[in-house]
Amino acid sequence: MKTVKNWVIESITPNFIELICDEKHSLRIYVLEETLFRVMFQKEGKLQLDRTWTVAPGSNETPIEGRSRFDLSGFSCPNFSTEQISKHELRIETTHLRLSITQPLCLHWEHKLDGQWQSLVHDRKTGAYQLGVNSYKNAHFMNFAPDTKFYGLGEKSGWLERTKKRFEMRNLDAMGYDAENTDPLYKHIPFFIAKPNSHLGTQGAYGVFYDNLAHSWFDLGNELDNYHVRYTSYRAEDGDLDYYFIYGTKIKSVTQQFVNLTGRTLFGPKWGLGYSGSTMQYTDLPDSQKLLTQFLDKTFEHQIACDSFQMSSGYTSIGDKRYVFNWNKEKFPDIFAFTNYFHSKGVHLAANIKPCLLHDHPYYQEAKSNRLFIQDSQSDSPEFSVFWDAEGSHLDFTQPKTIEWWKKQVTEQLLSKGIESTWNDNNEYEIWDSGARCFGFGQEIPINLIRPIQPLLMMRSSFEAQKEFAPEKRPYLISRSGCPGMQRYVQTWSGDNRTNWNTLKFNIQMGLGMSLSGLYNVGHDVGGFSGQRPDSELFIRWVQNGIMNPRFTIHSWNDDGSVTEPWMHSEATPVIQDIIALRYKLLPYIYDAFYKACAYNEPMLRPTFLDHEHDLETFVPSDDYLFGQDLLIASVVEPGARKRTVYLPDNTVGWYDFYSEQWLSAKQTITLEAPLERIPLLVKAGTCLPMSERIGAVNAKLDDKRVIKVYPFKGVNEGSCLIYDDDGESYNYLDGFYLKLNIAMKTNGETIELTVETEGSYTPAYKTIDFVVVGNDSRQLFVNGQKQQNCRYIFELNG
């Protein structure tokens, strides 16, 4: 590669400035928003890939054939000023962000703070940009302050903070990975967040998203080179050097802008937040249909609520191999009886599907003759790849005929048989023939440029099939692999983890990292997927953590052939029952957090610093996090622990212990009791926490009781909250068929005043709401100006 050095101004337009670098490369600086700039190189005046599928500003979609990289729709493209300080410096400025470009090519970013421009970050002054001489390899280097903290990069192992670490972006099926050390993993998220001056608690953070999905590496200060001041690096083996620079006054703002750039989170059905059962063993065994129906019966026998079951790929088996869309009729002699039985119990089914057909697949020759596969780089035949201990060929979702074929199979083999959802799995596209040819919607593209796009288009095709089959219902889908934009279609999880305490601990960090990287609807294989089955203590602690994630699925493939399920340890079953019951009691709160993730880009899983950047203690690595904006989770991740030390972030209003309802002042470290049957939880003061009394599969018609626990401020204070609900499955909310409770709280030493207003036309099964003030508070309660005799009030929704 060769360093790009000298530049001259080519043109200044209303939307971008174009420079010519080293007399042959084009560099465009786009001003897309007040706090969002884009830096795009065209090597020798050309893009290697002129389209993107990851960028979908302010929407949930891109054209199926990809969005032109020159398309500015969805951006506000605000006014900006330019000033040529000298022939060696050009300045571009919006209200909040200023960029100075100096010779040799170096970009300096500043943000306005208290009316003054202050340095945020700048490129490495020596060799900031490198482009391949006879290839499309590229690299970008940025200097950083010694106290900068780095986050993001999606699904990565280890601690949430990525500083002084090196990571590889290459989708890989890392079954049984080490959650502390293994890299790479399943997803390709080339986006990081930096917090400069972290030791000062100052405002200002930035994010960098590289819109290039070729194999790449990020080094966040691990590498040292005597010839350069300390730097971060991005290196890609192919593709275009095209990145977005996002500024936010806080880290949360950077994450929210990244989600808005790559597409909003899919608002799926409420039942997708319930407990989902799964295991590899049941569909691998010869009497699968019987075993699965027995599982369902046991959930009722043990009074454990369950909303769905995710069928592993064994239902497609011929011998010991998997053949997507092939039903094994010996394992499932009566498919409709099977699916109807689950439906009669209010439980939904999702089926595992894979994008690779083994060479002896019943549909292989048909797919080959129709050119549905990615083609070999050097011959006119499908590519061959190792897949599930055999060889197969991967379907090409940049071929319209493949999309239609896939949708047809999803519809005929799954949806029409009563399987409502798709589990898009093993979609890492491990094709190591880097020149293997994708159809590219008529413009051929080598696989190494768009490997992570194939799973994105796979899940989109499944999504479209489900939506066309049941247009009145919000689709629920799952995918393991993907890239930015996958949140538009699916819920995801951290892949095939290994059963041990260390995985429980570091999956927490992994979930937070995905959330900061725009993947809000996430979870883990609770109990651990591979290895030895969990003992009862580990299993209990894992379930306790699992209910405090958006996705809650117990899934396993244990070495001894056992199945990890709620009743696997008889002595622990009553505890597991109570833990899952707590999940369903909190489901109104979880659903409200889900709505806010989809409507307002609010993360559901939140490191404690996300809401408390001013409190430097929240940046200290810990196992604590927030679920939604109001619940502080203190998972127990060590064997034998029966106490838990927790730092209470400085929110100025304090916290309540969820169980004792005792108020605790903020900005202190406390020790909570953590008996085996209980996960320590705290609730932010000022919260109105909606809870259900129904412990059962999601059914809006049967959810007829609602309690809102009021956690009042101490002393003089005021605040507000919004609580959302709807029918949980239709699109009618788009037409105002929802219920929003706008609650204002005002307190002093003598009174607690609530003002409750409703919005929307949805009438739930619960006709009243029971407002209950916690903590034996002796102050007088007023609701909408009416004095109450005690700290409890029944609110009539139709009143």
Q: What is the pLDDT of residues 670-697, one digit of tens each?
A: 999 999 999 999 999 999 999 999 999 9
Residues of the chain with CATH 2.60.40.1760: 2-51+94-262
Q: What is the pLDDT of residues 394-453, one digit of tens each?
A: 999 999 999 999 999 999 999 999 999 999 999 999 999 999 999 999 999 999 999 999
Q: What is the pLDDT of residues 358-395, one digit of tens each?
A: 999 999 999 999 999 999 999 999 999 999 889 999 99
**Overall residue count recorded for the chain in this entry:** 799
Residues of the chain with CATH 2.60.40.1180: 605-684, 700-796
- Residue among 527, 526, 414, 403 nearest 477 (CA): 414
Q: How far is CA 518 from CA 335, 609, 627, 681, in A?
A: 38, 16, 15, 25
pTM of the model: 0.97
User: Given this structure, which CATH class describes domain 700-796?
Assistant: mainly beta
- 214-218, 242-246, 385-389: the lowest-pLDDT one: 385-389
Return the structure tokens found at 375: 């083609």
The β-bridge relationship of strands 191-195 and 477-479 is unpaired
- Alpha carbons 622 and 624: distance in angstroms, whole number: 6
- Alpha carbons 647 and 622: distance in angstroms, whole number: 9
Residues of the chain with CATH 3.20.20.80: 318-332+346-493
Return the structure tokens found at 533: 């089955």
CATH code: domain 605-684 is 2.60.40.1180
Q: What is the mean pLDDT of residues 237-250?
A: 97
Annotate 646-683 with b (16+ C-beta within 10 A) or e (fewer).
bbbbbbebbbbbbeeeebbebeeebebebebebbbbbb
Q: What is the pLDDT of residues 268-305, one digit of tens each?
A: 999 999 999 999 999 999 999 999 999 999 999 999 99
CATH code: domain 2-51+94-262 is 2.60.40.1760
Rounded to the nearest 5°, which phi and psi values hold at 426?
A: 50, 40
DSSP 545: H
CATH code: domain 318-332+346-493 is 3.20.20.80
Q: What is the mean pLDDT of residues 511-529?
A: 98
Percent of the chain whose predicted confidence (pLDDT) is above 90? 96
- For the chain, helix, strand, coil in percent to 5 are 20, 35, 45
Q: Tell me if 396 sits within 8 A of 402, measured CB to CB.
A: yes
